[in-house]
Structure formats: C-alpha cells, structure tokens
Amino acid sequence: MDDSIKILIKKHTRDFLESRLSTIQKIRFEDFEINPYLIASVKNQLGMKKQRDLARWLVTQRSERGMVTAFGSTLQKIAKEFSDEPTTSGFTMTLKKRNKKYNIVVTSGPNPYAKTQAVDLRNRLIASKETDPNSTPILGMCYGNKDAVSPIVKSELKNIKYYAGREFWEFISGEKNCRDDIIDILRYTADNFYDLEKRTIEKLTNDKIDQLEISLKNIFGEDPDEFWEKILKDLYI
C-alpha cells in the first residue's frame, strides 16, 4: 500500500475519533430529557442502583449515538482513497482496471438495505449502464464475506456484481493483504490517539460521568432511595 494512502487512512481515522471526542465534550446535564418511563423499565434490568449508574448510562447513550453511521462514512472515505478516476455521479468511487471502468457503491457491511432500498439501488445501477455503457456497476461491502451477504442483496441484486470484506479491499487495491493492512493502521492510529490534554475517549467519558454524577446528586439528592423516588415520580413536578 502506498504511503500516501496510509497517511490518508490515518487522517480519516483521527477525524472519526475527534468527532467522537467532540460529541462527548459537548455533553451537558442540561441537555438531557430524562424519560422516567424508560428509566422505570430498564433500571433494575441494567442493574442501576446509584446515581453513577444512571450517569454512566446517560453518557454512554449520548456518546454512542450515531457512531455506527459515522464510522460507515469513514470506511467509505477510506475506500474512496483507492479511486484512480473521477468519481461518477451517484457512486462512491470509480476505478479503472485493465482498461475497464468500474463504478462502485460502497457500504460498510453485508446487510445494508431493506428490500425497497435494494430495488432502488438495482434500478439505479442498471440505469447507469445506459448512460455509461462502457462501465460496470459494482456494490462493495467493507466487511463480511459473500456468505454473510443478506438474502435481500443476493435476490434483488443477483445480476449485479458485488464484493464483500477481504475480497472487496483486494479488488479495489490490487493487494491481497489490503484488509489486514487497514486494520493495522486503524489500531495503530487509535492506540496513539489523545486529545490536547492527553485524554483518551475512555478517560474523557469517565470525566463526563463524574460531572453528571455530581449534577444528579446536587439536584436529586445523595441518598439513593430518595434519588430514584425523585427521578421516577417527581422529575417533572
């Protein structure tokens, strides 16, 4: 893999991690709308006994919101770095291999579509052949393998070429170990990622839990029994 692509993969990884840090840094108690009905339903099931348990749950819920979608976008950006042609409109990336042009839609995993979405994609990919007859439309899935590809994709896109996981990365890079190299870069970048105060995401998350625990105690009381009584019954009185 070219060093230039490695640098760009590191950048996309850092951008993703920085976005997660930013999400955590913005968490404030004042922004939570605590749902007492939901808390009543899950409190004992999740083993919540003290203020810190609720603080941890609230911070985790907020910090993980959108994480999967955000990283899916990151994988698309990484894949696009292997493009060697201007990207055709409506596709994630365009490749030229052995004088053949491939227009590729990239998704993160092997189960990306509901049936209606798969039908729309199939129609779009087929239509692309009419406007660009010398190209081949492809669906690329960043992880998984052909056995893991959803039945919807297999049935609705059965006449469309698709690659998943290791096979996809090898196809766009021409390198058998591309998938493993990307994993190594992701791990190295994440293991050496800190904010300006040398905090990891874990450390910043724990700091936010500490802050929220203090706020919960100040507002609803130190005694756990009284705290839960107020949360469940008196929160909006």
The enclosing H or E element of 79 equals helix 67-80
pLDDT, position 6 = 96
pLDDT, position 216 = 94
pLDDT, position 129 = 84
pLDDT, position 171 = 96
The enclosing H or E element of 209 equals helix 201-220
Kindly report the average pLDDT of the chain as a whole number: 92
Percent of the chain with pLDDT over 90: 65
Q: pLDDT tens for residues 174-205? A: 999 999 999 999 999 999 999 888 889 999 99
Q: Is 104 in contact with 92 (CB distance < 8 Å)?
A: yes
Do the bridges between strand 100-107 and strand 135-141 make them parallel or antiparallel, or are there none, so unpaired?
A: parallel
Count the alpha carbons within 13 Å of 169 in the hemisphere toward its beta carbon. 21
Q: Is 220 in contact with 74 (CB distance < 8 Å)?
A: no
Cβ atoms within 10 A of the Cβ of 119, count?
Answer: 14
pLDDT, position 236 = 67
Check pLDDT > 70 for residue 221.
yes
Check pLDDT > 90 for residue 114.
no
The token pair that represents 166 in the structure block? 């290791």
Q: pLDDT tens for residues 3-41? A: 999 999 999 999 999 999 999 999 988 888 889 999 999
Check pLDDT > 60 for residue 237.
no
- Cα distances from 93 to residues 71, 86, 168, 221, in angstroms, run 17, 8, 13, 55
Do the bridges between strand 161-164 and strand 135-141 make them parallel or antiparallel, or are there none, so unpaired?
A: parallel
The token pair that represents 63 in the structure block? 């910090």
pLDDT, position 85 = 87
Tell me the mean pLDDT in the region 141-165.
90
